[in-house]
Structure 1
Amino acid sequence: MDALIRRQGFGRKADDGKTEESGSLRFQKEEEPTLGRGGLAGRCGISHSWLMFCMSFVSTGWLTIAAFSVIFRVLNCFLVQSSFVPDEYWQSVEVAHRMAFNYGHLTWEWKEGIRGYGYPLFFAAIYKMLHWISCDSVHLLESGFPIFILNLRQLRSVFKRSFCPPPQIWLPRLLHALVTAFADFKFFRLVGQLEKTDDVKWTLFAHLCSWFTWYSCSRTLSNSVEGALTCLALAYFPLPASKTHSSKKYLSLVALATVIRPTALIVWLPLLVYHFWREENKLRLVVQDYVPIGASFLAFSTLIDSIFYGKWTLVQFNFLKVNVLDGVADLYGTFPWHWYLTQGFPIIMGPHLPFFFHGCYLAFRRHRILFVAIAWTVAIYSLLPHKELRFIYPVLPFCMIFCGVSLAHMRAWRRAAAWGLLASNLLLALYTGLIHQRGVLDVMGHVRVLCHKASEADVLFAMSCHSTPYYSHVHCPLKMRFLECPPDLGRPDYENKSDRFNENPLLWLRTWYPHAPSLPTHLILFDVMEKKISAFLNENNYTKTTDIFHTHFPEGGVGGRIFIYERHRQASLE
């Protein structure tokens, strides 16, 4: 990698007083005689300016870095086959599936108008394109994304249909992976302007090694998009020594991130204040950049949301009111104020944590504003009772700059530290991506098989609400039910089926299914629930047909394995 970095010419040279601009001018002057009218450009009939552009692009090696970023993140996408949080399905692809195919489930957030349609609209457009080219049928989707692209029917016998996810599952994630690859590429170019060559190399190494970035970046989460857009916006932010800064570009990306997820503004608030403080013409910045860009994105977002909600809706205000002011988010779990400091931040940093602290010690003055943004984000989220790891994911690229500085300044133990960092992160990335919490995705492959007898099948997910994906991972109008868990917003007909079920699952099942004809044909449950409802399973002639691994770390109502029980036909004739 060291040779690659040197060959691409990234970074500032400590022993050379000349700037990069003077170096590039010297390169052009040396090459001009061979590329003039009598050279290659003149002989091939290619314009001199166009050839110079192509030659400069190829000579700097950006194409190599871009290709590596794309390959790395696409591989990243296909090696993450586990579940993280329910929102990666229920607040994105499930909504998009309903928008495109008119069936799917909308959670309570969409009924209260606190989620924006702009984000799932991208996925809905992908689904519509598949529909227009007649590639959204269950028959075609069963063959799986790679086989669908190749259209090799003879390979179908090699793969079991229940384990071949359809393209509608992979395409949104591939889109995330490509956006992340572009963000990595722009981030690398930015660091090349800010740091020395050695620092650039180790920052890239630290960034690509991050287990939590690997685990999160390709998921269909608004936090993942927020992280990629934050990384892109940073590439255009007017940092000292940055040569690619553009107020309109970075503000547009920040506005887009805020439209998708309003809390993205938390990360950028100190950076916006910093930009305003350093700007000489402050009035011009506010009048020509801040206000027009923010207002235009807010207006466009409001228009989209109002169209799909059927009434004028300001999602950003509703999001703040319901989740923060009304405290509804607290119903989904709270942690003490120090959780991010003692658990959250150390977890997402993982083995990078000591390098981050060391890098802060070395480069605090040079990257003070980035450190302030990290500290500010962690502090603000610490004030909110409801906390999740993914909330502070967007600050990881900021942290990797400090980690790169730390690794670059190590001498005696740098090689050992680098190997240790790579090995430990690789272990975490592969385990969490391929093994931990994968059962809820694997079970949907078995449910998809039931689409062949959709008129007869009736599936009940007898587990806590939103434990699995839904129609977005089945893509057929199969009769399915799950236990809903909306918050109590003061409605007279309020009922939390998930809580009622967990209090006494056997009584709940007997109450809701008193007669044999109404019984579901298939029950899907965690292993911890099996003993609690064994009497119901036996008396209604259910038989375990599938046993799926889920996690090595069961907790509460989430077990280590998932069972599928099927009811015998004879029981319905009695």
Structure 2
Amino acid sequence: METAREGGGKRGPPVRLRKRKPGLERPVPGSVAGRGVGIFGESIYLCLFTVVFRLLNCFLVQTSFVPDEYWQSLEVAHHMVFNYGYLTWEWAEGLRSPLYPLLFAGIYKVLALLSKDDVLLLIWLPRVVQALLAALADVKLYSFVKRLDNTDTARWVYFCQLSSWFTWYCCTRTLSNTMETVLTTFALCSYPVEGAKMGSSRGCLLLVALAFLVRPTALVPWAPLLLRLFWKEPRKQHLLLSHCAPVGLLALGSSAILDRVFFGKWTVVPLNFLQFNVLHNLAAFYGSHPWHWYVSQGFPAVLGPHLPFFVHGCLRAPKRHRFFLLVVLWTVAVYSALSHKEFRFLSPLLPLCMVFCGHSLATLTRWRKPAVAFLLVSNLLPALYMGLVHQRGALDVMGHLQGLCGPSAPPQASVFMLMPCHSTPHYSHLHCPLPMRFLQCPPDLTGRTDYLDEADLFYADPLRWLQEEFAGNSAVLPSHLVFFSVLEQDISPFLFSNGYEKTATFFHTHLPQGRIGSYIYVYKRHPKPL
């Protein structure tokens, strides 16, 4: 047994030192062993909290945003599995990859095999899956910043990510832009960065290729990042032959086979997408904006209250982050050159923007508490309003129409949506072969300037259109009409003469505009007795 004595002065009694058994040494606070346990515990709690947060996020978003969240994902998946529904013109032209809808088709197929294909599960399970992917992306962003900078900055970036109103509004929706954002975040976590501890160029390339197949626009922000990766790589030939070539061949080959099976012919979806949106600029058919729209409206609205912190973070972040700022500016510039612009196109840039916002909060030691309170309050209000109030009628009316399905449904029921095309979901939110019709609006691929789609012809003179469409043939009149409140006065003579009565009203928005009204009306026909 070892002993030790106090040095100097009077000697005290011997102090016995216990021998520790091998493998039971207590880690010193701050040591690698001590940090390992803390990191592991922190990761578990971080993951659990993020999952719970995003699931809450999922169920507190009960509004519609854009038609693509249904018509380019759930409707396609429903058609794949249940063999009925409606595919928009993009699928006939081979402009969309079936890869993303295939994720939800797998969910639908499992539910069908288990005989659990209830309509509520068909609606909510895909969104729950998307919420879990969003939660994983949040954790990955935290890990990326932690290895790039430090734990303190990573925590503030994580806070900014979770407090963003636009991320809350979009990240659990079944949009290809949402999946593009998730895959971009995953790829960032594998991106080799100078001074960082981890990184895998092959893993990063695989994720970028997957994001590109889901949505070809993913290549825009990744073009400068991949060029930088190539420039910094000392073994350029090895990178090209051992990483880029295998990943590219695997991605393009598997995509070609998948597209061949889905479309029934060989087609190159990314090339079709490029020709339609860029070379021929036919996407402008769905709206165009001035070149400065992203700078003057889109980017400020998407960042919202985070905008001043983003600007401040760009000034205070380390120099090695300047390239990420260049990626943001490059992407905004490229998107600004295209006529058709939407808020959701900026979604993949938000994780990079949150990196700069987190750096801002990390340096605001004196004003940090007021800044945190400001971000929480100012983001909470639009998040809840947009998620629970604005444009909720499109989903509420589909819940009402579900009553036309099942054994208790009225006989020979049918629905005609007299609304701007794709204003509501379709069979993915009904899950029964109820006859439904809506106004069509495919673009004219020949490029005629005088082209008018069915919706344009209808809204030019709604009453006349209805009278001509159903002239002398009351037998084909739909049992239910669904339309926005702004249309009621224009078609009231048709409604009265054909025995339609209002049976339901649903609030839609406080901001009616053009063909969109504040309310959605459901009219039911009561045929007059002979």
TM-score (norm 2): 0.91
Residue 508 in structure 1 maps to residue 462 in structure 2: no
Question: Of 82, 95, 106, which aligns to 2:76?
Answer: 95
CA distance 1:347–1:110, change in 2 (3 Å): same
CA contact (8 A) 2:285 2:443 kept: yes
CA distance in 2, matches of 1:31, 1:173: 52
The 5-angstrom pairing of residues 360-439 of structure 1 reads 360-363=314-317, 365-439=319-393
Question: Of 24, 37, 42, which aligns to 1:34?
Answer: 24
Instruction: Kindly state the Cα deviation for residue 243 of structure 1 after the two structures are TM-superposed.
Output: 1.9
CA contact (8 A) 1:454 1:478 kept: no
Deviations 1:14-60 (A, max 9, x none): xxxxxxxxxxxxxxxx9972289xxxxxxxxxxxxxxx99x848744
CA distance in 2, matches of 1:297, 1:32: 51
1:468 corresponds in structure 2 to 424
Q: Secondary structure at the match of 2:319?
A: coil
2:243 corresponds in structure 1 to 289
Question: Of 86, 104, 110, which aligns to 2:85?
Answer: 104
Instruction: Kindly state the Cα deviation for residue 80 of structure 1 after the two structures are TM-superposed.
Output: 0.6
Instruction: Kindly state the Cα deviation for residue 242 of structure 1 after the two structures are TM-superposed.
Output: 2.2
Deviations 1:167-202 (A, max 9, x none): 111111111111111111111111112223332222
Question: Of 439, 454, 462, which aligns to 1:483?
Answer: 439
2:220 corresponds in structure 1 to 266
CA contact (8 A) 1:522 1:564 kept: yes
Deviations 1:480-520 (A, max 9, x none): 0000100012399x872111111111111111112221111
Which sits farther off after the overlay, 101-110 or 242-251? 242-251
Deviations 1:85-119 (A, max 9, x none): 00000011001100000001010100111111111
Residue 358 in structure 1 maps to residue 305 in structure 2: no
Q: Secondary structure at the match of 1:33?
A: coil
Unaligned runs of 5+ in 1: 1-29, 37-51, 142-165
CA distance in 1, matches of 2:378, 2:154: 22
CA distance 1:290–1:59, change in 2 (3 Å): closer
CA contact (8 A) 1:363 1:402 kept: yes
CA contact (8 A) 2:402 2:430 kept: yes
Q: Secondary structure at the match of 1:300?
A: helix
CA distance in 1, matches of 2:252, 2:525: 52
The 5-angstrom pairing of residues 69-84 of structure 1 reads 69-84=50-65
1:213 corresponds in structure 2 to 167
After superposing on structure 2, the runs of 4+ consecutive aligned residues of structure 1 that deviate more than 6 Å are: none
The 5-angstrom pairing of residues 105-120 of structure 1 reads 105-120=86-101
Question: Of 44, 61, 66, which aligns to 1:63?
Answer: 44
Question: Of 298, 309, 312, which aligns to 1:344?
Answer: 298
CA contact (8 A) 1:172 1:220 kept: yes
CA distance in 2, matches of 1:251, 1:313: 23
Deviations 1:366-392 (A, max 9, x none): 301110110111010000111011111
Deviations 1:458-480 (A, max 9, x none): 10001110000000100000010
1:134 corresponds in structure 2 to 115
1:202 corresponds in structure 2 to 156
| Residue identity opposite 1:485 in structure 2 | C
Instruction: Kindly state the Cα deviation for residue 208 of structure 1 after the two structures are TM-superposed.
Output: 0.8
CA distance 1:540–1:480, change in 2 (3 Å): same
CA contact (8 A) 1:374 1:398 kept: yes
| Residue identity opposite 1:83 in structure 2 | S
2:398 corresponds in structure 1 to 444
Question: Of 520, 530, 533, which aligns to 2:488?
Answer: 530
1:23 corresponds in structure 2 to none
Residue 568 in structure 1 maps to residue 526 in structure 2: yes
CA contact (8 A) 1:83 1:441 kept: yes
Q: Secondary structure at the match of 1:135?
A: coil
CA contact (8 A) 1:364 1:371 kept: no
The 5-angstrom pairing of residues 209-248 of structure 1 reads 209-248=163-202
Q: Secondary structure at the match of 1:412?
A: coil
Deviations 1:518-553 (A, max 9, x none): 111100000000011011011111110101000010
Larger radius of gyration: 2
CA contact (8 A) 1:123 1:172 kept: yes
| Residue identity opposite 1:324 in structure 2 | V
Residue 540 in structure 1 maps to residue 498 in structure 2: yes
CA distance 1:563–1:103, change in 2 (3 Å): same
Deviations 1:380-419 (A, max 9, x none): 0000111011111101010111111111111332211110
Which sits farther off after the overlay, 126-135 or 186-195? 186-195
| Residue identity opposite 2:418 in structure 1 | A
1:8 corresponds in structure 2 to none
| Residue identity opposite 2:419 in structure 1 | M
The 5-angstrom pairing of residues 137-152 of structure 1 reads 140-141=118-119
1:13 corresponds in structure 2 to none
CA distance in 1, matches of 2:430, 2:41: 46
| Residue identity opposite 2:440 in structure 1 | E
Instruction: Kindly state the Cα deviation for residue 351 of structure 1 after the two structures are TM-superposed.
Output: 0.2
How many residue pairs match? The answer is 500
CA distance 1:535–1:191, change in 2 (3 Å): same
Q: Secondary structure at the match of 1:468?
A: coil
CA distance in 1, matches of 2:437, 2:126: 25
Deviations 1:316-340 (A, max 9, x none): 1111112211111011111111100
| Residue identity opposite 1:94 in structure 2 | E
CA contact (8 A) 2:142 2:155 kept: no
